[in-house]
Amino acid sequence: MLSREENDYLTQTGPGTPMGAFMRRFWMPFMLSEEIAEPDCDPVRVRLLGEDLLALRDSNGRVALVDQFCPHRRVSLFFGRNEECGIRCVYHGWKFDADGNCVDMPSEPADSNFKDKVKLKSYPVREKAGVVWAYMGPADAMGGMPELEWMEVPDDQRYMSRWYQECNYAQAVEGEIDSAHVSFLHRKIDNDAKNKAALTGSYFSGDTAPKWKVVDTEFGMTLGARRIVEGGKYYWRMNQWLYPFYTMIAPVPGESRTVRMWVPADDGTCNIICVTYNNERPVTDAELHSWQNGLSSHAARIPGTLIPAANAANDYNIDRQVQRDETFTGIVGIRAQDAAMTESPGPIVDRSLEHLGTSDTAIIKMRRLLMEGARALEDGHPPAAARDGALYRVPAYSAVIAEDADFDERPEILEGMRVAPAAVKAAE
């Protein structure tokens, strides 16, 4: 449990908050390139760390992330014209380029230099592997972008999507690193050990109280969960949590890997980017069908929105008969099952009322690492992981071993949790 003050410290990420300052030291993924695919595309509203921003691609193909509100009389530039390398406010015609410079101010006399004194707030942006990233911290503290494994696989071997969740980022992440819940929340009643399409099967239902081993790392932490499976063997599942909000969920051996980025839109809303990828082969039609329709790790959305089709307003389409006969929840899809749990306490859970057990070890540790990181920054020590993107070259991993040994004592597992160094370091 946390005190109310600690809970505020952990969950508040707006401008001027310690956790917000900590987050702002990292590159932040916030949308998919395909959402602003073409030059002079429609601008898209973006809410990031409590700030209302606007993303657009200018005539040269450059992405801009700027304050949503015009510095003249603060109307929304969402209604503006994205034309000839700038966004033009439709109220009085002021125009701003991707760096936020005012390049035209037709409502003032031609000999006025007022436009040179007005600036629109603009953040540095980069695109990588189909995702758009922003840096919102001090210019002299800008570090490298995280080098994540999915960035290096061919486009046809990965699928990505984005949606919103109506809860604080920490709450959403806690649901993800809570490895104990897979034995319950995602269970099928008629458990078929051969069916590995969902996170079910004998690996999860046979041993519902796994042994935990959580190891601090430079990038965050590795969460090992060991279950005893058929033949008296040991199934180790190593999920990763990486500063400040990335999670990697270990695949069932041979299946695709999933990475989620739980980016605070504001303190009550999480902007989620999910990437599922396979190192060996292209995405299959069956996988695509499952992901696009919200049957597993991705959300099916209400068309034209970032709101999942199964959401709190419709009780995630829970079917009580299915819950009696077929699945533990009666809710379709891992994503919706998770969201039903993590959104249900309300946007910010009161952590002073919790009763945490041994299965919550990773959650306790994540909170501590984040709060320690934010306090260290307040004391003048910036986070090391924000500087060195190579620390992120780590996948989630799972393996069945015969020996009764911890995962971090087994060389083959440690090897499996390493992404080879990049042949050529990506130019940034």
In the complex, which residues of this chain contact ligand FES (CB under 6 A)? 70, 72-73, 75, 89, 91-92, 94
Residue 152 interacting entry, from Fe ion, ligand FES, none, C-beta within 5 to 8 Å by type = none
Residue 70 interacting entry, from Fe ion, ligand FES, none, C-beta within 5 to 8 Å by type = ligand FES
Q: Is 376 exposed, middle or buried (0-12, 13-18, 19+ CB in 10 A)?
A: middle
- The number of residues in the chain equals 428
Please state the closest distance from residue 91 (CB atom) to ligand FES, in A.
4
Binding segment (CB under 5 A) for Fe ion, from list 212-220, 314-322, 331-339, 348-356? 331-339
- Let me know: does 396 contact 249? Beta carbons within 8 Å: yes
First to last CA, the chain: 41
CA distance 123 to 143: 14
- Specify the residue, 92 or 387, whose C-beta has the smaller distance to ligand FES: 92
Please state the closest distance from residue 354 (CB atom) to Fe ion, in A.
18
Taking CB under 5 A as the criterion, the residue among 338, 361, 383, 398 binding Fe ion is 338
- Specify the residue, 136 or 177, whose C-beta has the smaller distance to Fe ion: 177
Closest by CA position to 338, among listed 199, 192, 227, 201: 199
Residue 92 interacting entry, from ligand FES, Fe ion, none, C-beta within 5 to 8 Å by type = ligand FES
- Specify the residue, 80 or 308, whose C-beta has the smaller distance to ligand FES: 80
- Specify the residue, 73 or 418, whose C-beta has the smaller distance to ligand FES: 73
Please state the closest distance from residue 21 (CB atom) to ligand FES, in A.
30
392: Cβ contacts below 8 Å, ≥ 6 apart: 146, 147, 148, 219, 242, 246, 385
Angle between the 4-11 and 169-177 helix axes, to the nearest 10 degrees?
A: 90
Angle at 392 between CA 391 and CA 394, to 5 degrees: 105
Pairing between β-strand 27-32 and β-strand 269-277 as defined by DSSP bridges: unpaired
Binding segment (CB under 5 A) for Fe ion, from list 14-22, 112-120, 333-341, 363-371? 333-341
What is the enclosing helix (H) or strand (E) of 398?
Answer: strand 397-401
Residue 72 interacting entry, from Fe ion, ligand FES, none, C-beta within 5 to 8 Å by type = ligand FES
CA distance 245 to 259: 11
Residue 233 interacting entry, from Fe ion, ligand FES, none, C-beta within 5 to 8 Å by type = none
Tokens read off for 144: 């490298």
CA 201 to chain centre: 27
Helix then strand count (H, E) for the chain reads 9, 19
- Specify the residue, 73 or 425, whose C-beta has the smaller distance to ligand FES: 73
CA distance 129 to 32: 9
Binding segment (CB under 5 A) for Fe ion, from list 13-21, 273-281, 323-331, 338-346? 338-346
User: x/- binding map, residues 282-321, to Fe ion, per CB under 5 A?
Assistant: ----------------------------------------
- Give the count of residues interacting with Fe ion (CB under 5 A): 1
Angle between the 169-177 and 361-378 helix axes, to the nearest 10 degrees?
A: 140
Minimal CB distance residue for Fe ion: 338
Residue 338 interacting entry, from Fe ion, ligand FES, none, C-beta within 5 to 8 Å by type = Fe ion
- Specify the residue, 105 or 295, whose C-beta has the smaller distance to ligand FES: 105
- Specify the residue, 200 or 222, whose C-beta has the smaller distance to Fe ion: 200
**174 contributes a contact to Fe ion by CB under 5 A:** no
The residues of the shown chain that bind Fe ion, judged by CB under 5 A, are: 338
